[in-house]
A and B are shown apart, each in its own frame.
Chain A
Amino acid sequence: QSALTQPASVSGSPGQSITISCTGTSSDVGSYTLVSWYQQHPGKAPRLMIYEVTKRPSGISIRFSGSKSGNTASLTISGLQAEDEADYFCCSYAGGYAYVFGTGTKVTVL
């Protein structure tokens, strides 16, 4: 189970939109709608931001949205805010009751 590929870093100015990609294979991202995204601030536990590719849990801002095309999933953050600065990880079900995470992306608000 190889980790999903994410860009190491993405940055944007306040108010801008950024998109983080998450590339897997036909055995994980490409086969299932069970792709989720997690936000992690330093020293904190991950927090679910998006699940089942596009769904937002209660309490998550509509500025966060997800999508998927083929073997690549994406997380878009619109109207970037200072508090969005964090690490973001994607995750996909990989079959056989196993999951695989992405390599992680550090988002910097300029």
Chain B
Amino acid sequence: EVQLVESGGGLVQPGGSLRLSCAASGFTFSRYWLNWVRQAPGKGLEWVAIINQDGSEKYYVDSVKGRFTISRDNAQNSLFLQMNSLTADDTAVYYCARDDWTFDIWGQGTLVTVSS
């Protein structure tokens, strides 16, 4: 079964850091670009970041540039999102999603809450 499973979410204070992980299975992980997409409580979807197959290309939405870093480990079939200098506006469910010029496979999401 093709699957993505996120982990690492939780409660963090403003200014803090958190690292999200996404474990993939059921497909050839190294062949695909991968994304992080987030959804604030009661709000719409927002694309956050994308990484190419070997990790040499990374792109971000303006609001997280310089604070978030997307990375991957093809040997471990894993995607990561390092989030620094977090603010309340970063509170959201974070989804990893496989990219095939569309978001064809999604994980179940992991909730990040930024609050003191």
Complex contact B45–A91 (CB within 8 A): yes
Question: Which of A91-110 touch B at CB < 8 Å?
Answer: 91, 93, 96-104
Judge if B54 is at the interface, Cβ distance under 8 Å: no
Chain B residues within an 8 Å CB radius of A102: 44
Complex Cα–Cα for A93 and B95 (A): 18
Chain A residues within an 8 Å CB radius of B44: 3, 89, 101-104
What bracket does the count of chain A residues touching chain B fall in? 20 to 34
Judge if B73 is at the interface, Cβ distance under 8 Å: no
Complex Cα–Cα for A103 and B95 (A): 17
Complex contact A38–B57 (CB within 8 A): no
Complex Cα–Cα for A32 and B37 (A): 20
Which partner residue on chain A sits nearest B50 by CB separation?
A: A97
Judge if A46 is at the interface, Cβ distance under 8 Å: yes
Option from B35, B37, B59, B104 in Cβ contact (under 8 Å) with A96: B59
Chain A residues within an 8 Å CB radius of B109: 45
Q: Given A3-B44, A45-B108, A48-B102, 7 other A-B contacts at CB below 8 A? A: A45-B106, A48-B106, A51-B102, A91-B103, A97-B57, A99-B35, A104-B44
